[in-house]
Structure 1
Amino acid sequence: MTDRGPIADVVARMRQRVDELPPELAHRRFFLETYLRTTKAVGQAIDDARFEDPAWVEVWDVRFAELYLQAHDGTSVARPWRLAFEAPAKLPALAHVLLGINAHVNYDLPQALLAVISDDDFLDPQLMDRRRRDHERIDGVLAERVAAEDGELAATGARSLVDRVLTPLNRLASRRFLRESRQKVWHNTTELQQARVQGTYEKRLAELEVLSAAKVADLLRPGQVLLRLAVTGFGVTLPPPD
């Protein structure tokens, strides 16, 4: 990844947050550092011309990261993030990572997509096909990070014996929920766009917040979080409007 540009800037801001974490918030490091590395990977994929519209992906990725930084800094903390941030610090590192992923992907990602796709864009099928394909390509970048991120957690010594035994299953589950979440995020983005046109966006966003918070709350129950996701599914789906 180049050392200049919007993504490099947001990576630097994430690194600053890592460096400035107070001891009582040290558990936030697990998700934050994971997100920092995956953001760098997306930046490298942009440099490697893996997207049809790299300029659009860059703007989208930065907008997505901004929503997380606002939550982390306390500027705008929706209920999914409050639950993730207030989770017991003693939870396994993997649990903290997955809580953050759920809050960020389920609640923030549709908003980030809508921020960079106008209502007029939605009327252009060819353009929307390109946007959807680039959205899918992000999954490929993230899937390539699964084994590496597992290694990063192992290096911290933060994985339990059970985590280590279940590593192959965990990696399979990770790839599955990446595919599943992509489909649900695109559905929710479309639902929110329709609400934006109809003047009911805030109502539908509030519904998404409730659904996303419920998923985070479910993941806070005792047990192996990733395996539960593999069974119950990842992501949330906005129902048809009333």
Structure 2
Amino acid sequence: MIRQADTWEKSGDRRYIFLRCYSMMSTNMVAAIRAGEFKDCEWVATLINHFAAYYFKALTAYERNPAESPAAWRQAHQAAQHQKLHVLQYLLLGVNAHINYDLPLALYDCLCKEWPNLDETQRESRQEDHETVNVIIGKTTDEVQDTVVEPMAPLMAVVDQAMGRIDEWLLSQMISSWRHEVWNVAIRMLDAPEFVIRETIKKEQEQKALEKGEGLLRV
């Protein structure tokens, strides 16, 4: 992640903004796993690696042929390369594609084999680990704002001083809300009795992510 972000930043490719922030989040996630902050650290480690693989798979598809990449990622990549937007728009377009499209698929993949055999307590434990990530996102938001957002948008430093942590709180709350939604999407996929129903849910979620991205572009 860091190597690719460095390459993009040097070439002026604004896709580095999301990837730089994603690398910070990943570093903090690894630290939390090593510190034993989750109920099942091994499962969380598997999930974050699988989740990251979705990002790089979509990137590889886009670089090979944009039409082959998921619509939300195509939207984010094209906006970062060809449109002049605010730094937060570049960031959130990437966050949107990765959370609202990739994450429910990664969750499904990492839960599908074990889910039927988990009791209610074990299922709740998986959800609690998913929600613990929101705490780490909140802690990472300040770092992202200081090192990525403010250097590109100095006015944000003024906003940060005037509002204290309110602006970071609003950002992390939005992301947490998205993550709550996609957990429910993953559960719908797990409960779906047939492949065709899961594919319908997947397509519906892709369209929702695309619509959220369109909303970010209009801000």
What range is the shorter-chain TM-score in? 0.7 to 0.9
Correspondence for 2:95 among 79, 98, 101: 101
Q: Give the structure with the higher percent helix.
A: 2
The residue type equivalent to 1:85 in the other structure is: H
1:198 Cα offset (Å): 2.3
Correspondence for 1:26 among 5, 13, 31: 13
1:120 Cα offset (Å): 4.3
Query: TM-score, normalised on structure 1?
Result: 0.78
Tell me what 1:183 maps to: 180
Q: What are the ranges of 5 or more consecutive residues in structure 2 without an aligned counterpart?
A: 63-67
Query: 2 CA distance for matches of 1:122 and 1:95?
Result: 39
- Quick check: 1:86 aligned with 2:73? no
1:83 Cα offset (Å): 0.8
Aligned-residue Cα RMSD (Å) equals 2.0
Query: 2 CA distance for matches of 1:41 and 1:173?
Result: 20
Correspondence for 2:123 among 128, 133, 138: 128
1:139, 1:179 within 8 Å by CA — same for their partners in 2? yes
1:18, 1:29 within 8 Å by CA — same for their partners in 2? yes
The residue type equivalent to 2:44 in the other structure is: V
- Quick check: 1:159 aligned with 2:153? yes
Query: 2 CA distance for matches of 1:103 and 1:164?
Result: 26
Query: 1 CA distance for matches of 2:9 and 2:143?
Result: 26
Query: 2 CA distance for matches of 1:108 and 1:46?
Result: 21
1:121 Cα offset (Å): 1.6
Change (3 A) 1:23 1:90: farther
Tell me what 2:194 maps to: 198
1:92, 1:160 within 8 Å by CA — same for their partners in 2? no
Q: How many residues align?
A: 206
- Percent identity between matched residues is 26
SS in 2 for 1:49: coil
The 4+ residue runs of structure 1 with deviation greater than 4 A are 22-25
1:105 Cα offset (Å): 0.4
Q: What are the ranges of 5 or more consecutive residues in structure 1 without an aligned counterpart?
A: 1-13, 224-242
1:94, 1:153 within 8 Å by CA — same for their partners in 2? no
Pairing of 1:1-242 with structure 2 (within 5 A): 14-21=1-8, 26-74=13-61, 77-87=69-79, 88-124=82-118, 125-154=120-149, 157-161=151-155, 163-167=156-160, 168=163, 169-195=166-192, 197-199=193-195, 200-221=197-218, 223=219
Q: Which has the higher contact order (CA 8 A, sep 6+)?
A: 2
SS in 2 for 1:166: helix
2:21, 2:144 within 8 Å by CA — same for their partners in 1? yes
SS in 1 for 2:8: coil
Query: TM-score, normalised on structure 2?
Result: 0.86
Query: 2 CA distance for matches of 1:132 and 1:56?
Result: 12
Query: 2 CA distance for matches of 1:63 and 1:212?
Result: 20
1:187 Cα offset (Å): 0.9
